[in-house]
Chain A
Amino acid sequence: MSPCKAAHGTMLRMSQTHADYRLSQLDQLEAESIHIFREVAAEFEKPVLMFSGGKDSIVMLRLAEKAFYPAKIPFPVLQVDTGLDFPEVLETRDNWVNRLGVNLVVASIDDAIASGVVVDDGKTSRNRMQIGTLLNAIEENGFTAAFGGGRRDEEKARAKERVYSHRDEFGQWDPKNQRPELWSLYNGRLHEGEHMRIFPISNWTELDVWDYIGREGIEIPNIYFSHQRRVFVRDGMLMSETPLNPMREGEVAEERTVRFRTCGDITLTGCVESTASTIDEIIEEIAVAKLTERGATRGDDRFSEAAMEDRKKEGYF
């Protein structure tokens, strides 16, 4: 038996004394994220929050609101407009931005193509073109730190990423050469032209995000909840019928009861059949889900085993 068994009585007494000084895991995650937001605001000249309107970036915005309250969030939010965003997502984005009174910077892929920042060769997906558009927006505005809603539970390349993730002057990530990150002591040193990606919800899981949205009672795009939608099947995924994503030969649209697990580019983001119309029902559904949210509904992560790692190296979110 363990040599510490003798001390068991003492431990019990201690736990009674400190019973009140226990923080739930959601409160601990929130405290950690708020700490990160404040560190960045204090140490970086020009931070920006990358906001897609999806649930993870909404949780980020909520945490930023809490970190600086009652002051306004001391940095703008940046959205990369693919031209293929769900209208419901853009509406939620505007509601949040207006309520908080933050500055919104929109980097549009169409503008980037028009000005030659990225090239539309007819083969490259808009998902890929986001990289050049984003990096250009960061450089043009002189942003030194960009908050992203990436979580380590999402994908295995992300599982190794730091909270402060360094990007060189080309915006590239070097996964083999990451700075060690210890305790909650973050190193934000940069050279001219470099920037830092900051992932304040690194340690949150999909379930944590939902629990938090439920606890806080905050607005998210309604496409996360069950609704009727005309959809068709492509590559095993249910895609939305929309002029933005023309159907190919043999594809047939029909009305189904669905919801989205992630909010991305409308041509790459599939939905799942679901009757979950409340946060609790969504949580129940996730608890028994058999596929990860990205594997189930994101065409962009299906290209290869290292799809995410490769895009991240180039400067993806």
Chain B
Amino acid sequence: MADTTGTTKGTNMDLLRFATAGSVDDGKSTLIGRLLLDSKSIFEDQLEAVEATSTSKGYDYTDLALLTDGLRSEREQGITIDVAYRYFATPNRKFIIADTPGHVQYTRNMVTGASTADLGLVLVDARQGLTEQSRRHAVILSLLRVPHLVLAVNKMDLVDFSEEIYEKIHAEFTQFATKLNIPDLEVIPISALNGDNVVNRSENMDWYSGPTLMHHLEHVHVASDRDLIDARFPVQFVVRPKSDEFHDYRGYAGQVAGGVLKPGDEVVVLPSGMTSKISKIDLFDKEITEAFPPMSVTVHLEDDVDVSRGDMIARVKNAPEPLQDIDAMVCWMTTKPLQPRQKLAIKHTTRTGRALVKDIQYRLDVNTLHRDQETKELGVNEIGRVQLRTTVPLLCDPYSKNRATGSFILIDEATGVTVGAGMING
């Protein structure tokens, strides 16, 4: 056996997931290419492949979009269709980019990318200012409760690095953002092409005293974004070894969705309502004193209560309410529209059931925030407020409080395809 013991650096890094949205015209691919290049995350063979393709297509520049457009059909059409995941790291942080298409007909892909993001990066072209598209991106990121937003005002080199133009876009966006839920906003003037304020501070914009994009990405504080107050533990799997050594072992495996769990905590098992105490918490072969999101652990209870997959362990005095009438914002993802009376499968945390569409209250225009109450259906890529009745109670929190216990997916029972994504109101 080879000796693999040793210390490694990666164990002390933290992680930031961010979503980008925009079209090629905004310079999104150039920006991602620059982040990857400047953090030395692109390899020579990848760059060579892209250069060769650019040349064969007759371009006189290296099209960095070819790095992110992974599928043959995307390269043929020259557009990003699907979400692509990209990875890079600096000495203190690893980054996962969910690179999503900007066009309105791919809203569902942007919703997908934003669902797991800690930060959203919206690009605007300094020459154009805010467009319908950039407003829509901000609306979607806000709906998905992405806690940090960066507006990158790109192509500053093409407006002579004008502070006035930057301030105008900044003011206009800040005004628009008051209608949204954006707890943390940073507006950064950049030139992705030349690298101004991307990794290195721009010498052309000494009037700007804020962080560079990379500095902000490296330092934005995300650990406290998760709910560390309301303990939520959806049970995934019951661990019962049935071996001689662990004959009486019975543990509840799952990923902490909220709060901090400790041995000795008085807990309630939902939906049954039985109470008990946490006797111990295992992380692989070690007992730990605290478990917090997003740790995957195994919880043991003092009493022999009936617990199975789909149940939720919470605190006696702080438990989610089991709900069968669900009021949620739903993003619809398939061509056959969502209509009242439709029946679908629903998956919420580790719980699966069926749902009936009681009502579609309104359709939200993601460009203008206008609520259209006339149309009683949702088409593909549309978002609306929907009332559902479920066969099983969902042990849920408002999405604004907890993204893990406030979200669900809808599945077409005939095709098995995921057709909707929901965020519970409250």
> Which residues of A pack against B, CB within 8 Å?
1-4, 7, 11, 14-15, 17-19, 21-32, 34-35, 38-39, 41-42, 66-72, 95, 152-153, 156-160, 175-176, 178-185, 187, 189-191, 202-203, 205, 207-208, 210-222, 224-225, 278-280, 283, 289-292, 295-296, 305-306, 309
Contact = CB atoms under 8 A, between A and B. Distances in A.
Contacts of A202: 85
Contacts of A211: 8-11
Contact of A70 (B85, B111, B246, B292): B246
A227 B81 CA distance: 45
A64 B82 CA distance: 29
Contacts of B84: 156, 159-160
A185 B245 contact: no
A211 to B, nearest CB: 3
B364 interface: no
B274 interface: no
Contact of A160 (B83, B174, B309): B83
Contacts of A3: 174, 177, 185
9 residue pairs, one from A and one from B, having the closest CB atoms: A189-B416, A156-B70, A211-B10, A295-B45, A25-B15, A34-B296, A71-B241, A182-B115, A214-B8
Contacts of A224: 2
B374 interface: no
Contacts of B5: 214, 217, 279
A203 B96 contact: yes
B224 A225 contact: no
* Centre residue among A38, A67, A211, A224 by max chain B CB count within 10 A: A38
A300 B253 CA distance: 39
Contacts of B6: 214, 278-280
24 contacts: A1-B209, A3-B174, A4-B185, A15-B224, A24-B10, A24-B13, A34-B255, A35-B296, A41-B237, A69-B239, A70-B241, A70-B285, A71-B249, A152-B87, A176-B73, A180-B112, A182-B116, A183-B116, A205-B94, A214-B4, A214-B6, A222-B1, A280-B7, A290-B45
Contacts of A30: 296
B100 to A, nearest CB: 11
B369 interface: no
Given A2-B185, A213-B4, A175 B71 contact: yes
Contacts of A14: 221, 224
A224 to B, nearest CB: 7
B75 to A, nearest CB: 8
Contacts of B8: 210-211, 214-215, 279-280, 283
Nearest to B236: A38
Given A71-B241, A185-B409, A23 B294 contact: yes
B224 A18 contact: yes
B210 A2 contact: yes
Nearest to B3: A278
* Centre residue among B89, B116, B253, B285 by max chain A CB count within 10 A: B253
Contact of A182 (B69, B94, B111): B111
A41 B309 CA distance: 11
Nearest to A283: B8
B221 A305 contact: no
B215 interface: no
Contacts of A70: 239, 241, 243, 245-246, 249, 285
Contact of B2 (A21, A179, A203, A220): A220
A25 B174 contact: no
A15 B292 contact: no
Contacts of A38: 236-237, 253-254, 296
B71 A160 contact: yes
Contacts of B301: none
Given A185-B407, A210-B8, A305 B83 contact: no
Given A42-B350, A185-B408, A279 B4 contact: yes
A187 B411 CA distance: 8
Contacts of A295: 43, 45-46
Given A3-B174, A187-B411, 13 more contacts: A4-B183, A32-B294, A182-B112, A182-B407, A182-B421, A183-B115, A184-B116, A185-B348, A211-B8, A214-B7, A215-B11, A217-B4, A280-B6
